[in-house]
Amino acid sequence: MPADHETLSILKLGGSLLSLPDVSDQLVSFVDQHQVSNPVVVVGGGDAADLVRNWAERFELADSAAHDLALKAMALNGELLSHLGDRFALVNGPWDGGDSCPPQRIGVLNPLSAIVSLEANLPRAQHLPKSWDVTSDSIAAWFADCWNAERLYLLKSIDLPSELFHSQPDSDDARQQRASFANRLAQHGFVDRAFARFASTVPSVAWCNLRSQGLELQML
- pLDDT (tens digit, 9 = 90+) per residue, 138-173? 999 999 999 999 999 999 999 999 888 766 555 567
Question: Which of the four pLDDT bands, split at 50, 70 and 90, describes residue 3?
Answer: very low
Q: What percent of the chain is modeled with pLDDT above 90?
A: 79
Q: What is the pLDDT of residues 75-92, one digit of tens each?
A: 999 999 999 999 999 999
User: Which run of H or E residues covers position 89?
Assistant: strand 88-91
Rounded average pLDDT over 43-56: 96
The CA distance from 122 to 176, in Å, is 25
Residues in the chain: 220
The per-residue b/e assignment along 93-114, b for 16 or more CB within 10 angstroms, e otherwise, is bbbeeeeebeeebbbbbbbeeb
Q: What is the pLDDT of residues 95-115, one digit of tens each?
A: 754 456 677 899 999 999 999
pTM score, whole prediction:
0.91
Q: How far, in whole angstroms, is CA 198 from its chain's centroid?
A: 11
CATH of the domain at 60: 3.40.1160.10
Query: Smallest Cα–Cα separation from 205: which of 220, 193, 217, 187?
Result: 220
Residue 67 structural domain: 5-219
- State the pairing for strand pair 39-43/88-91: unpaired
Q: What local confidence, expressed as pLDDT, does residue 181 receive?
A: 87
Q: What is the pLDDT of residues 193-212, one digit of tens each?
A: 999 999 989 999 999 999 99
Q: What local confidence, expressed as pLDDT, does residue 4 receive?
A: 43
- Strands (E) across 151-195 are located at 151-156
Question: Which of the four pLDDT bands, split at 50, 70 and 90, describes residue 1?
Answer: very low
How many domains does the chain fold into? 1
Q: Is the pLDDT of residue 13 over 80?
A: yes
